Amino acid sequence: MNAAKCVIALVAFLLTCVPAFAADAIKIGAILSVTGPASFLGEPEKNTLIMLQDQLNAAGGVNGQQVEVIVYDDESDVNKCVMAAKKLLDQDQVAVVIGPSISGNTLAISKFFSSAEVPLVSCAAAEKIVRPVDPWVFNTPQLDRHAVTRILQDAKAKGYSRLAILTVSDGYGQAGRGVLKELIPAQGFELAADEVYGPKDTDMTAQLTKIKGAGADAIICWGTNPGPAVVARNRVQLGLTVPLYMSHGVASNKFIELAGDAAEGLILPAGRLVAVEQVPADHPQKAVLEAYVEGYTKTYGTQISSFGGYAHDAFALVMEAIAKGGSAKSADIRDNLEKISGFAGTSGVYTYSPENHNGLDESAFIMVTIENGAWKALN
Amino acid sequence: MDPSSLLQYLITGLTLGSTYGLTALGFTIIFNTTGVINFAQGEFVMLGGMMSVYFMHSRGFSEPAAVVLAVLGATMAGALVERLAIRPVRDCPTINLIIITIGVSIFIRGLAMLLWGKDTHVLEPFSGNQPIMFLGAAIMPQAIWVLVISLFLLGALKMFFSGTIHGKAMLACSFDSKAASLVGIGVQRMVLLSFMISALVGAVGGVILAPITMTSYDVGIMLGLKGFAACILGGLGNPFGAAAGGVILGVLESFGAGFVSSAYKDALAFVILLILLFVKPSGLFGLKDSKRV
């Protein structure tokens, strides 16, 4: 036998070995926006999943089985997301899929999961993902409705009656705008102004001037970085003293860095992840929050973002469902996800049911403010 | 509508408009020498802002030094683009060169993303953050910097093109490069020079804007588009027209947001642009006959 034949034989041997070896691991798919405009979501989510996979496998896996996470980057693009979903379902034959990072992409692919009968645990927040309930689709982030409820509770306590809203014209902002326009009149407030800005806009003084003219008691801004930082800066630059609420979409240290001094005193609802050390020691989320923050900062040497927490919770919930049912079959994972109750994650305490595939309520949010460049929990 | 709001919209519009105008100026310079529309112009603006942030925050330079280094760096980038991407294919039709500049813009954007990450960054304003109140409207000190530097650049370019031999040689190249080379003008050198000057103008724009608009690897896309629109509005090939087009676009956007609806402000500005082009296809300040032979 000559050398070339040896090599071919070796390769052939290895090829037959690999599938047999890989069959032992539970395959979990993930579609995340690691690059593109939504990379601020997808990148920490990917890092989180890889870290959790390594931690779990090092600790012996789940039910004695190793876990293999297959991550595809959809580049924040809906077409690439659809292709990745098909690849995971047809080619990789995964048991369950985590992601996508953004709502539009989740809605675009959710129907494939119902027909393939594979559960999808999305890291995107839109209410449409889980209402009405699709038996195969779950999500982990807090809903916009919970955030708006918390803001309006705060506004009511402070005696505001006329509220202005300033929302970004992308999916996140318009979903928030819909909920705001529904809940503001329903809770007895008056909508003083309804302004919009573009995701790439760099100046919102025109909108703020208009809001100033409308005489609002408080402004609610709904967007993700960097837009809200511009709003905060423009508000100070125009000399406005009207209180400004932000959404949970800016609950990261990047926002404080971008807005600088203009961030001082702003109020927003946020998951407990932004102020871990201020969470009381007896709170059910305390241990999981600390473990996540410590693991992430140690592994990647960068600060955590609350967006990575959505992937953390998706992974933890799937593992809980697999451990609970003792099975990694798609249908069993789905059934056992619905049985999860009182499970502490980074974003809140999850209780899924056949009618509720989000699992959280407004208690998942705390109101925080920014004081001396740091997050401070409000009581 | 009270007068102070009106004034605020105008100031906002002028500041925004200068940013568009500065980008538009860069388009004009290269177009005037080569007839090529350089779609990487927005990337030069981004490089100015991002390099300032890099030199200042990661390399510890003082702000003035960082700004100078950034502008020089971007000018070098302009020269490199001409050398590596345009010169090797200089005999291709203009349309091919334009498509190459689109490729160059994607490449620069990707490189900036890999080098400096995907985050948005802020640059400190040159002279404080305290707004100046004027008849009830707030003016940021940085906005005054933007307006003054834009006007200065515009004047300098005007003098360069109509008053110096190099400027005239560059204009000659765009009219007829063959004839220009026959009378002894180094056409390739002029093309190189035009890329360097337009990168310099773009980078200066990027630097003075960064404190107001913040900067990230992808700010060039939108600025490039708006700058291009401003160019068309003012009339391609006329630096004064480009700057004026930018200011008009900015003011339209600002008043559109204030009076009509902020949701339609981009649409409103572009609808007016379209109407204008139907009525006067050569742009506001363009030559009647766009064929300059």
pLDDT tens per residue across all 293 residues of chain B: 677 888 888 988 998 898 889 889 889 889 888 888 999 999 999 999 999 999 998 898 998 999 999 999 999 999 999 999 999 988 888 899 999 999 999 999 999 999 998 888 888 888 877 888 888 788 888 889 998 998 899 889 888 888 899 888 888 887 888 888 898 888 889 999 999 999 999 999 999 989 888 899 988 988 888 899 898 888 887 888 888 999 999 998 888 888 887 778 778 777 877 888 888 887 777 765 445 44
Instruction: Give the pLDDT score at A18.
Output: 46
pLDDT at A340 over 50: yes
Phi–psi pair at A62, nearest 5 degrees: -115, 135
pLDDT at A131 over 90: no
CB A171 within 8 A of CB A104: yes
Which chain A residues touch B216 with a CB distance below 8 Å?
Answer: 226
Instruction: Give the pLDDT score at B259.
Output: 83
Q: Cβ A226–B216 below 8 Å, yes or no?
A: yes
Q: Is B222 touching A (CB cutoff 8 A)? A: yes
pLDDT at A22 over 80: no
CA A314 to chain centroid: 9
CB A122 within 8 A of CB A138: yes
Q: What's the CA gap between B109 and A378, in Å, rounded?
A: 41
Amino acid at A274: V
Q: Is B8 touching A (CB cutoff 8 A)? A: yes
Residue A330, token pair as written in the block:
């798609």
Instruction: Give the pLDDT score at B270.
Output: 78
How large is the average pLDDT for residues A20-47? 84
Please name the residues in contact with B4: beta carbons below 8 A apart, sequence gap of 6 or more: B135, B136, B137
CB A33 within 8 A of CB A102: yes
CB A207 within 8 A of CB A166: yes
Instruction: Give the pLDDT score at B49.
Output: 94
pLDDT at A1 over 60: no
Amino acid at A139: N
Q: What's the CA gap between A44 and A252, in Å, rounded?
A: 12
Phi–psi pair at A27, nearest 5 degrees: -90, 125
Nearest one of B2, B21, B57 to B241, comparing CA atoms:
B21
Distance from CA of A166 to the nearest CA of B (A): 10
Q: What's the CA gap between A161 and A188, in Å, rounded?
A: 8
Q: Cβ B5–A213 below 8 Å, yes or no?
A: yes
> How does DSSP assign B145-182, residue by residue?
HHHHHHHHHHHHHHHHHHHSHHHHHHHHHHH-HHHHHH
Site of tokens 């003035």: B64
Instruction: Give the pLDDT score at A74.
Output: 94
- DSSP class of residue A92 equals I
Instruction: Give the pLDDT score at A15.
Output: 52
3-state secondary structure at position B118? coil
How large is the average pLDDT for residues A68-81? 94
**Helical (H) or strand (E) element with B132:** strand B132-134
Instruction: Give the pLDDT score at A12.
Output: 57
Q: Cβ B138–A212 below 8 Å, yes or no?
A: no
Which chain B residues touch A173 with a CB distance below 8 Å?
Answer: none
How much of chain A, in percent, has pLDDT values that exceed 90? 72
How large is the average pLDDT for residues A97-103? 92
Q: Cβ B12–A203 below 8 Å, yes or no?
A: yes
Residue A185: asked if its preceding bond is cis (omega within 30°), the reply is no
Site of tokens 């500065």: B22
Residue A256, token pair as written in the block:
């404080």
Q: Nearest by CB to A206, which of B12, B209, B222?
A: B12
Nearest one of B282, B174, B288 to B232, comparing CA atoms:
B282
pLDDT, tens digit (0-9, with 9 covering 90-100), for A232-285: 999 998 889 999 999 998 888 889 988 988 999 999 999 999 889 899 999 999
Q: Is B265 touching A (CB cutoff 8 A)? A: yes
pLDDT, tens digit (0-9, with 9 covering 90-100), for A285-317: 999 999 999 999 999 998 887 789 999 999 999
CA B289 to chain centroid: 25
Instruction: Give the pLDDT score at A10.
Output: 55
Q: Cβ B216–A237 below 8 Å, yes or no?
A: no
Q: Nearest by CB to B258, which of A40, A203, A210?
A: A210
> How does DSSP assign B205-272, residue by residue?
HHHHHHHHH-B-TTHHHHHHHHHHHHHHHH-TT-HHHHHHHHHHHHHHHHHIIIII-GGGHHHHHHHH
How many beta-carbon pairs under 8 angstroms link A with B? 88
How large is the average pLDDT for residues A152-171? 93
> How does DSSP assign A313-362, residue by residue?
HHHHHHHHHHHHHT---HHHHHHHHTT--SEE-SS-EE--BTTBSS---G
CB A263 within 8 A of CB A245: no
Q: Nearest by CB to B138, which of A37, A207, A239?
A: A239
Cα-based distances in Å from A177 to A147, A168, A191, A224 = 12, 9, 12, 13
Q: Nearest by CB to B122, which of A169, A203, A260?
A: A260
**Helical (H) or strand (E) element with A22:** helix A3-22
What is the interface pTM, i.e. ipTM, of the complex?
A: 0.75
Q: Nearest by CB to B214, which of A202, A207, A209?
A: A202
Residue B9, token pair as written in the block:
């919209």
Instruction: Give the pLDDT score at A294.
Output: 94
Please name the residues in contact with B71: beta carbons below 8 A apart, sequence gap of 6 or more: B48, B200, B203, B204, B207
- The partner residues of A368 in beta bridges, in order of sequence, read A268, A377
Nearest one of B132, B137, B133 to B3, comparing CA atoms:
B137
Query: In the predicted model, what is the mean pLDDT of chain A?
Result: 90
pLDDT at A3 over 80: no
**How many CA atoms lie less than 13 Å away from A100 in the CB half-sphere?**
32
Instruction: Give the pLDDT score at A151.
Output: 96
